[in-house]
Amino acid sequence: MQVTINGKDEKLFGNPPEVGEQLPKFKLEDADGSKVKTADIVGHITLISTVPDIDTPVCSVETRKFNQQADKYPDANFLTISNNTLEQQKDWCAAQGVSNLKLLSDESLSFGYAMKLYMPNFGALARTIFIVDATGKIVYRQIVPEITDEPDYADALAALEKLAKRVDD
């Protein structure tokens, strides 16, 4: 599969999983350095957002927007995954006041290779959104064609609302 970065073609490691497929096995790290595996995600409705680099403007905006939405969906987990180091992610969360979603590190690229979202020539994950149901089945997939563009938030949240109840403040 291919996406673009500033209009330049960039290949992904393979073809990302489709709607209807199960999440593959992978390992990530949370802010405490604890391992987060696929099995830790299964059992919960989860919105997974992947970003190339948390310290860039579009990735920062995207993660903040999902952080603002997270508390409106108490039945759902919100995860943002990048291959930034844990230290970079902690610093970003502290600077941005992000606390409603979990930022997970794929510095080992386990997730990127398992989900086929790693861009080997660019050295980062593609910008995507996946929603998985409590059984670990992918029910929504958005692969942003141009990495420098923001995702379609409304489309992703509409898909999430089919699974998780929204509460308005």
Active-site annotation, residues: 59
Buried b (16+ CB within 10 A) or exposed e, 32-54: eeeebebeebbeebbbbbbbbbb
Strand order in the sheet with 45-50: 35-37, 27-29, 102-105, 76-82, 45-50, 128-132, 138-143
Residue 133 near residue 151 (C-beta atoms within 8 A): no
CB-CB contact of 144 with 3 (8 Å): yes
For residue 122, the tally of other CB atoms under 10 A from its CB is 17
